[in-house]
């Protein structure tokens, strides 16, 4: 997961009280937002943080929502929304296959 610019920053484009994160003014703000998101969601995966020049955002256009599965530096899936909706079937299948493959490689 990569924390990028906050899409609905409370001081830029608020959507009610669901998200109360202000626009990131510096890398420290973005890191704090990522840490808070991990804490609030109990994520147990690697979370990266995009740079303040928004390089990842500009190169991969993940906003408003898009899913990328990257394994050992290789893109395994680029999930794209269709008609403002995302069917997570391909994402779930990709992740299931990766977990299945990893189990096959585990030595007991």
Residue 84, SS3?
A: coil
Do 73 and 54 fall into the same domain? Answer: no
pLDDT tens digit sequence for 68-77: 888 888 888 8
Question: Over pLDDT 70: what percentage of the chain?
Answer: 81
Nearest 5°: phi and psi at 36?
-65, -40
Based on the domain organization, do 27 and 72 belong to the same domain?
A: no
What is the structure's pLDDT at 108?
A: 46
Which H or E run includes 92?
helix 89-105
Counted domains in the chain: 2
Structure token pair of residue 1: 């997961």
Q: Which domain holds residue 85?
A: 64-108
- Residue-wise pLDDT for 3-17, tens only, equals 777 766 766 666 666
Angle at 47 between CA 106 and CA 52, to 5 degrees: 150
């Amino acid at each position: 997961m990569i924390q990028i610019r906050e899409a609905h920053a409370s001081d830029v484009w608020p959507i009610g009280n669901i998200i109360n994160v202000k626009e990131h003014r510096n890398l420290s703000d973005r890191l704090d937002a990522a840490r808070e998101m991990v804490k609030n969601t109990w994520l147990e995966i690697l979370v990266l943080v995009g740079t303040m020049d928004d390089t990842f955002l500009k190169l991969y256009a993940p906003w408003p929502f898009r899913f990328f599965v990257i394994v050992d530096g290789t893109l395994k899936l680029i999930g794209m929304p269709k008609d403002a909706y995302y069917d997570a079937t391909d994402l779930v299948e990709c992740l299931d296959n990766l977990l299945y493959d990893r189990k096959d490689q585990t030595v007991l």
